[in-house]
Amino acid sequence: MNRGPFIFLGVLIILVFSWTTVILKPNQEVGQLLAILDDDQGGRLPRELQGAAQHGKEIYQELGCIACHTQQVRVAAGTDIERGWGNRQSVARDYIDQDRVLLGRKRLGPDLSNVGERRPDVAWHLLHLYNPQINSRGSNMPAYSFLFDTREIVGSPSSRAMELPEAFSPPEGFEVIPTRKAESLAAYMLSLKVDYDLNEAPKSPETMADELAIALENAE
Amino acid sequence: MSFIDNVFSSLRPELSGDAENRARERALDGAIRFPLLSLIKSSSVWLVIATIFGLIASIKLHSPGFFADCPILTYGKVEPLFWNTLVYGWLFNAGLACAIFILTRLGGRSGAPTTFLTISIVLWNTGVMLGVIGIMAGEQLPYAWLEFPSFVGPVLFIAFVGIGLSCLLTFHARVYRSSYVSQWWILAALFSFAWIYTAAQVMLVCLPAQGAIQALINSWYVENVFGLFVAPTAFATILYLIPKTLGSHVIGYKYSAYAFWSWILFSSFAGVSDLSFGPIPVWVSSLGVVASFGLLLPTTTLSIQFLSSLFRKFSVIWSSATARFLLAGSVIFLILMYYKIFGSLRGSLATTQFSQFDSGVDLLALLGFAGMVFTGGIHFILPRLFNKELPSSTIVDLQFWLQLLGVMLVSIGLISGGVLHGELINESIANSIAVVTALKSGFFLTTLGMFFFFLSSVCGVVTYFTILLSNRVEAEQSVDLINEAPELEYTAP
């Protein structure tokens, strides 16, 4: 053990071994996936982000929403399905378009994989971003009021001005307008939904039972 | 300006007394004085900055209005700022300071090109600074402990290679041909970090792998930064300082090689268990669990070495600040590994996944275990570099107790709070606002703990600057101020 090269070689072998098993092997198994074309489910799966939502994803990354929100649904553990956060397991193919993956490691807030389905109203998201206390009283999500402009009303009020409850409204003669960043972020939220099935994605027994019941009903 | 004179006298001590006495040690310390000071200074300052970020982040969780209008300090930015300044600012600087000191002393000769080493250190800290600015400016990447914007990667890499090369040159230039276990740990840490950082930068930042694999690489990286860099440097420091402060051999030294190789092997596989239930193949996380259990072997060996050596000389612990930090670090190490190993089980993860629990264990590792050990190391190094006493034992004591209290409060807040958090998010269908409300008291505890950390880090900075700026008193002008411990490293117990 007296020699540097011996330690170097030993450590190198172990690290290469670890890297090949833990990273390279899974990368061969699930790291080269392609999108699927499925006309019954509306074309390319997973669905691609469009325009404003793509920009919104960058804002999500820039502001570090990932510190509190995950984007992954688990079937084998947790209560994700009961909470209505999704109806199937998230699998590797769901993430192939994310050049910067936003899987997340912390859930101080809810999972957002399907938030677009749960909360389809842009106005709700804008209000929530402006100040979560407006529609989620007691939340500790930060207010992103810096994504909004408060400006003096010149002439007639803008059609894009936010309708804020009294307690949160700007002084008389002022209005609050969402910036492009706020609008893109809200568009991104609406785009977050996993509304397609993949063959490899397991569902929970409850979901399958529900689907079976619906299918039977339709058949009758 | 007496301050300036004092700095000069600190940097170039002219001592009286028997010139032969400690001549070798003094020459060694002199050769690395400047780079070491720049490492220690940067580490202390970064720790203050990190704890301020940590404090802001933790306050925001119970009082979201705090600095809410400030876009550069939104929670999603201060949280990564906290972890990154903690890891790359505090731990790397402090750990490398201990590493360079140990390599030089153990080898008996410094082979490091001082200017080159100092430039690398400055470059490293510039990189960290750029990263901080980048995150504030909104350039962060969504990878844990790798949030620094992509252009920072090469800067840190080059700087690290510079520092690492200097360490290798010192090791190469050693006069004692045999080597002590601390040297193995340090070499392993240097090789490993260069490798895992390259792998992570290439596969995440430059040529990102497909989505789910990125999460895997990220987990592997995070666990290995601790397991293969931070922990090994801390082990090296403990194993070097035990004989130095206690004046006796490390008990069970002959098992060191087993502990060394088994730790490196298992910890390089251990990290990925936290991705259980996620979109990666199940076998990968199972492998992580098996490897975590493998860590029981080196953990037991190392803990027995540390604790039985320390307890045998328990009386010294009250008189030596360094030994006290080592004892605290070693005890925390044991607790930490308990959480890490048993926390990796699928059953535990089913409860704690996505909760604050992980942050609690990470903080126990970084601030509790490694933080304590490196602080002890710095308190050992500083008096030798300057040939001065630590300026105030009260401040050192205060720093110790504040840090210990901080560790306790933060770990209760985040680990127990995290278990509660996990139960609520994974085993109930309580809505998120109810969860946040239930966690309030845990958030408050964490804030209090962070506040203590902040105070203790201020003590560290105060110690550093007072010893640098203080007047050299009579006793400190003599080479006899410091008694070198006997060289026990190369003799059989």
Asked if A61 contacts B140 with a C-beta cutoff of 8 angstroms, the reply is: yes
Tokens of B79: 């949280």
Convert the pLDDT of each residue in B135-177 to its tens digit: 999 999 999 999 999 999 999 999 999 999 999 999 999 888 7
| Residue B428 touches partner A, C-beta closer than 8 Å | yes
Select from B136, B216, B229 the residue whose CB has the most chain A CBs within 10 Å, as the one to mutate to test that interface: B216
- pLDDT at position B476, please? 83
Are the beta carbons of A139 and B433 separated by less than 8 Å?
A: yes
| DSSP code, position A174 | E
Identify all chain B residues contacting A110, using CB atoms and an 8 Å cutoff: 432
- State whether CATH 1.20.210.10 applies to domain B3-12+24-491: yes
Mean pLDDT for all residues in chain B? 92
Question: Confidence class of residue A122 from pLDDT cuts 50, 70 and 90?
Answer: very high
Mean pLDDT across B23-45: 92
Question: How much is the CA Rg of chain A, to the nearest whole Å?
Answer: 23
Residue of chain A whose alpha carbon sits nearest to that of B67: A142
- pLDDT at position B490, please? 72
| Residue A103 touches partner B, C-beta closer than 8 Å | yes
- Cα–Cα dist B126/A168, whole Å: 42
Domain ranges of chain B: 3-12+24-491
Are the beta carbons of A92 and B279 separated by less than 8 Å?
A: yes
| DSSP code, position A162 | -
Select the residue of B62, B213, B272 nearest A27 (Cβ to Cβ).
Answer: B213
Select the residue of B76, B144, B346 nearest A63 (Cβ to Cβ).
Answer: B76
Distance from CA of B68 to the nearest CA of A (A): 6
Mean pLDDT across A103-126: 95
SS3 label, residue A149? strand
- pLDDT at position B1, please? 53
Residue, of B299 and A76, whose pLDDT is higher: B299
Distance from CA of B179 to the nearest CA of A (A): 5
Predicted TM-score of the model (pTM): 0.95
Convert the pLDDT of each residue in B312-353 to its tens digit: 988 888 888 899 999 999 999 999 999 999 999 988 999 999
Cβ burial, residue B473 (10 Å; 0-12/13-18/19+): exposed
- Cα–Cα dist B358/A175, whole Å: 43
Select from A73, A101, A131, A137 the residue whose CB has the most chain B CBs within 10 Å, as the one to mutate to test that interface: A101
Asked if A96 contacts A46 with a C-beta cutoff of 8 angstroms, the reply is: yes
Helices (H) and strands (E) in chain B, counts: 21, 0
Convert the pLDDT of each residue in B352-385 to its tens digit: 999 999 999 999 999 999 999 999 999 999 999 9
The 10 Å Cβ neighbour count of residue B252 is 16
- Among residues B361, B379, B451, the alpha carbon closest in space to that of B415 is found at B361
Domain ranges of chain A: 46-208
Q: Is the ipTM of this complex over 0.90?
A: yes
- pLDDT at position B398, please? 96
Question: Confidence class of residue A2 from pLDDT cuts 50, 70 and 90?
Answer: low
Q: Which of residues 391-420 of B touch A (CB under 8 A)?
A: none
Mean pLDDT across B59-63: 96
Asked if B99 contacts B186 with a C-beta cutoff of 8 angstroms, the reply is: yes
Convert the pLDDT of each residue in A56-88 to its tens digit: 999 999 999 999 999 999 998 899 999 999 989
Asked if A31 contacts B210 with a C-beta cutoff of 8 angstroms, the reply is: yes
- Cα–Cα dist A186/A59, whole Å: 10
- Cα–Cα dist B59/B73, whole Å: 12
- Among residues A195, A191, A216, the alpha carbon closest in space to that of A88 is found at A195
Mean pLDDT across B68-91: 96
Domain A46-208, CATH: 1.10.760.10
| Residue A67 touches partner B, C-beta closer than 8 Å | yes
- Among residues B453, B456, B364, the alpha carbon closest in space to that of B58 is found at B453
- Helical spans, DSSP H, in chain A: 4-19, 25-30, 51-63, 115-118, 122-130, 180-191, 205-219
- Helical spans, DSSP H, in B12-88: 23-62, 75-84
Distance from CA of A163 to the nearest CA of B (A): 20
Q: Among all chains, which residue has been given the structure tokens 């970020």?
A: B53
| Residue A186 touches partner B, C-beta closer than 8 Å | no
| DSSP code, position B493 | -
Select the residue of A1, A140, A143 nearest B184 (Cβ to Cβ).
Answer: A1
- Dihedral through CA B240, CA B241, CA B246, CA B250, nearest 10? -30
